[in-house]
Each structure stands twice: as C-alpha cells, then as structure tokens.
Amino acid sequence: MIMLASIYGNAQVEQGRYEERIGSRLSFDLKQLAGTHTVNELIVQGIVPFCPIVRKATDRYNLLRVQRNLYDDRGLAEYAHHIYEYYGIDLKPEFSDERRSALIDKSAKTEPIVHNADYDIRLVEDVAVVSLSGDQPTK
C-alpha cells in the first residue's frame, strides 16, 4: 500500500508539472493569436492528456486512472476564469451551452491556427476554441 501511495504521489507531481507546461505554452499561443486576431472569448474542450510517466503507471496500476484533471471549461464553468487568469489569459469563457456547441461545431470545420500534440486552437468569429487532445486511457 505504501508503494502504491508513493507511485500515486509521484504521478500527481509529474502530472502537475506536465499540465503547467501545457498551460504556459497555451497562454503564450493565445497571447500571440490575440496580437494578430480579434479574440474576445475562449472555449476549452477536452481534457489534458496524461503525461508519459502517468500513462505508463496507469497501464500497470488501474487505480491511478481515477487521477483525472478536467480542464474542459464546461465542467469548471464557474472556476474557468480563475484558471485562465492563473496562466495570464485575459479572455472570458463562453457559458451558453447552445452557443458553445454551435461554435465547437463550426470550429470542427476549420483548420487549426495552432496545432501541437497537446491541443489545437481554432478561431471562430472572435472566439478561440481550444481542443485539448487528452483522453481516458483504455484497459
């Protein structure tokens, strides 16, 4: 049990560091995008992927799969702006489910302005739509 607690603690630390790097890069990309385009709102969909160490640990220890940090702003609607502020992102989140869904549908038909292994950023009207690439591990 102590070994599992140690593995879980280390996985939490590594995942936090991984998410910090993704958040910092996303903040930088959004600031660059806002410098060249009009961006007034932000929609984040999807979840942050597991870092490589956590992916490996979840393959071996099923219990670690409960560690799932959701940054989809829909699940964090009332707290999303605090997360954005932490990373220096000064954009308001979209709270209307209907408008949010319509913008996500439109964004799926456009090419990403920014693409990397962790997320895509698309611009629809004056809304930056960030699609995080994480998924729940299967097994």
Predicted confidence at residue 70, as pLDDT, reads: 43
Instruction: Give CA–CA dist 62/57, Å, rounded.
Output: 8
pLDDT in tens, 36-47: 999 998 888 887
Reported confidence tier of residue 111, pLDDT bands at 50, 70, 90 = very high
- Residue 33, beta-bridge partner list: none
Dihedral (CA of 139, 62, 83, 29) sign: negative
DSSP string, 97-128: HHHHHHHHHHHTTS--SEE-SSEEEEEETTEE
Reported confidence tier of residue 133, pLDDT bands at 50, 70, 90 = confident
H or E, element range at 41: strand 41-45
Q: Is the pLDDT reported for residue 60 higher than 90?
A: no
Predicted confidence at residue 65, as pLDDT, reads: 56
Look up residue 15 and give its two tokens. Answer: 């995942």
Yes or no: say if 41 and 83 are a contact pair by the CB < 8 Å rule.
Answer: no
Q: Which amino acid is at 73?
A: D
Q: Is the pLDDT reported for residue 105 higher than 80?
A: yes
Reported confidence tier of residue 62, pLDDT bands at 50, 70, 90 = low
Predicted confidence at residue 72, as pLDDT, reads: 46
Every domain of the chain and the residues it spans: 2-132
CA proximity to 40, closest of 114, 109, 103? 103
Instruction: Give CA–CA dist 115/135, Å, rounded.
Output: 17
pLDDT in tens, 64-89: 555 454 444 455 545 566 677 777 77
- Alpha carbon distances (Å) from 74 to 2, 7, 94, 97: 36, 30, 9, 8
Look up residue 40 and give its two tokens. Answer: 């007034």
